[in-house]
Amino acid sequence: MLTDLQIAIVGGDARTLEVIRKLTEEDAILTLVGYDQLDHGFTGASKRNIDEVNFSIMDSIILPTSGTGLSGEVETIFSNKKIILKPEYLKQTPPHCHVYSGISNSYLDNCIKNSNRKFTKLFERDDVAIYNSIPTVEGTIMMVIQHTDITIHGSNTIVLGLGRVGMSVARTFALLGAKVKVGARKSEHFARITEMGLTPFHIDDLKHEVANTDVCINTIPAPIVTAEVITKMPSHTLVVDLASKPGGTDFRYAEKRGIKALLAPGLPGIVAPKTAGKIIANVLSQLIKEDVLSRKGKIT
């Protein structure tokens, strides 16, 4: 239980409601910033403007998955009021205060550095990334069904990258009956792709591999699906780029060539906000408990 812990939840979306629900169940004392339009009241939670928050008592601060903007603005879908996370707010927190966010940027990194607070980027954790790959794959299937006139079954599908998302995508498309080739660059990845019963190829050979591709799903956050590659694709190929913005596809050239290429960020929050929220909530609750135990000297 998180009894008596003071936690500020600053901004958020439908996923954050699951976090609020979970932490409320765990008996934490929550201060919600950016929730004035949310009708639902949570026991043990009070709604505040950011300048009304007593940061000096906060054990944890939970930011939205997007963290902050480059000027400190924090997104919320439950308020029209502008929220800015000022560096001085973090400096007011007790030294043990731990800040959690999905991702970070230079603004947030600087705030954390200047305040010398502990910081966890949840989306960098393997557990969150692997759990999140489940709704990501379901969203990818949805997009492929919506944007093609063929079945996934029997399609020639290329998956780029065998990381946490790539592996789930490749396996699931293969289970749906697609003929899956996976582009990677490490010897151990070629071995794993072969073990999975799929066809590996070196990412450097991508332009030679796309000649009969129906669907190309990129998970590599680097410029991989270049003009040189796109020019070798059949005109009906659908490119779904899952990599974080700006993706790994030359979208300008794809459009020029008439290839449908879609950047598809944030699928878990779009297709399954409740599940995506529960994934974050469960991991956060565990991390906050570990934080408390480590402060009491029970774990290191």
Of 65, 67, 57, which is closest to residue 29 (Cα–Cα)?
57
Q: Which is nearer to ligand NAP, 115 or 172 (CB)?
A: 172
264 counts as binding ligand NAP under rule CB under 6 A? yes
Q: Is 27 left (phi over 0), alpha (psi -120 to 50) or beta?
A: left
Identify which range of 12-20, 128-136, 149-157, 289-297 contacts ligand NAP by CB under 6 A. Answer: 128-136
Does position 129 bind ligand NAP by CB under 6 A?
A: yes
Q: How many residues bind ligand NAP (CB under 6 A)?
A: 24
165 touching ligand NAP, by CB under 6 A: yes
| Alpha carbon distances (Å) from 227 to 206, 249, 265, 298 | 12, 8, 21, 55
* Stretch near ligand NAP under the rule CB under 6 A, chosen from 13-21, 216-224, 227-235, 277-285: 216-224
Q: Report if residue 166 touches ligand NAP, rule: CB under 6 A.
A: yes
221 forms part of the interface with ligand NAP (CB under 6 A): yes
Cα separation, 183 vs 202, whole angstroms: 6
Stretch that binds ligand NAP, among 3-11, 64-72, 230-238, 258-266 (CB under 6 A): 258-266
* Least distance between ligand NAP and beta carbon 173 (Å): 15
Q: Does 161 bind ligand NAP (CB under 6 A)?
A: yes
Give me the least distance between CB of 39 and ligand NAP, in Å please. 29
Which residues, including other chains, have CB under 8 Å from residue 19's CB and lie 6 or more apart? 9, 12, 62, 277, 280, 281, 284
- Of 2, 111, 180, 220, the one binding ligand NAP by CB under 6 A: 220
**Residue 69 interacts with ligand NAP (CB under 6 A)?**
no
Alpha-carbon span 75 to 83, nearest angstrom:
7
The reply on whether position 193 binds ligand NAP by CB under 6 A is no
Residue 208 engages ligand NAP in binding (rule: CB under 6 A): no
Residue 28 binding ligand NAP, by CB under 6 A: no
**Phi and psi for 73 in degrees, rounded to 5?**
-70, 140
- Cα radius of gyration (the chain): 22
Burial profile 239-261: b = 16 or more Cβ within 10 angstroms, e = fewer? bbbbbeeebbbbbebbeeeebeb
Nearer to ligand NAP, 142 or 150 (CB): 142
Phi, psi of 21, rounded to the nearest 5 degrees: -60, -50
Nearest to 206 by CA among 152, 156, 155, 160: 160
Q: Contact between 163 and ligand NAP (CB under 6 A)?
A: yes
Strand partners, 201: 183
Residue ranges binding ligand NAP (CB under 6 A): 129, 132, 136, 161-166, 185-186, 203, 219-222, 242-244, 264-268
